[in-house]
Amino acid sequence: MTEQLSNHISVLQTRAGEISIEEMLEQLALSYPGQVCFSTSFSWEDQIITHYILSNNLPIKIFTLDTGRLFPETYSVWSRTIERYNATIDVYYPDNSLLQPFVTEKGPNSFYEAPENRIGCCHIRKVEPLRRALKGNSIWVTGLRAEHSPNRHDLQPFEWDEVNGLIKYHPIVRWSTEEVKSFIAKYNIPYNILHDRGFVSIGCQPCTRAIKQGEDFRAGRWWWEDSGKKECGLHVHGAGI
């Protein structure tokens, strides 16, 4: 990252603490016309940001990644969101030329068998489609929160994504879970009902379970693996986290 870029991100960090989320999103859309995008998985957090964007008619592209193995409840909130906001949400699917030979060779549930299989599956179903979705953009808005995992504890509102070559903006990075739930209720925003059943971080159906009382946010994702690193490769922070 160049010194000029570092200074620019510092300015954005300061600005984010001075104005509202709506104003920050609007400024980014004006400063980077046609180059600001938001990725949604229809989580609590992502539904809040979707509400900010669509309720204010902000010119920010919204997209999602359909891995082909999502929960029925996720497709339901997707449909309800389109209806509620009369919105268009772009969808990116896995490249069949990569997915078909992978599943043919390793089977449909090989991610349970070895970490490298799970990482390979995530790469094909999520990381590669994400790179296509981000192409040509300068700002990537996300719903990440510091509470999500220890790896995200020090996350700031803005950061440089070296892998994808753009600036990431996390509008609600410092929000608590109670703040998130209160906002959803206040504005009657459609949300994934799995959240009411103990599912905190919701991804692909075979790789997600509800968490138990006292477990951390990421305990329900890839629970059969070492709990030290619970990432799929979509979000890389700092030194390769």
Active site residues: 232
Beta strands at 166-169 and 139-141: parallel, antiparallel or unpaired: parallel
Dihedral-angle region of residue 62 (phi above 0 means left; psi in -120 to 50 means alpha; beta otherwise)? beta
Separation CA 29–CA 36 (nearest Å) = 6
User: Are residues 21 and 121 in contact, defined by beta-carbon separation less than 8 angstroms?
Assistant: no
Separation CA 143–CA 46 (nearest Å) = 5
User: Are residues 29 and 58 in contact, defined by beta-carbon separation less than 8 angstroms?
Assistant: yes
First-to-last alpha carbon distance for the chain, in angstroms, is 17
User: Are residues 31 and 167 in contact, defined by beta-carbon separation less than 8 angstroms?
Assistant: no
Residues 6+ apart with CB under 8 A from 106: 113, 117, 120
Dihedral-angle region of residue 162 (phi above 0 means left; psi in -120 to 50 means alpha; beta otherwise)? alpha
Separation CA 115–CA 100 (nearest Å) = 19
Residues 6+ apart with CB under 8 A from 101: none
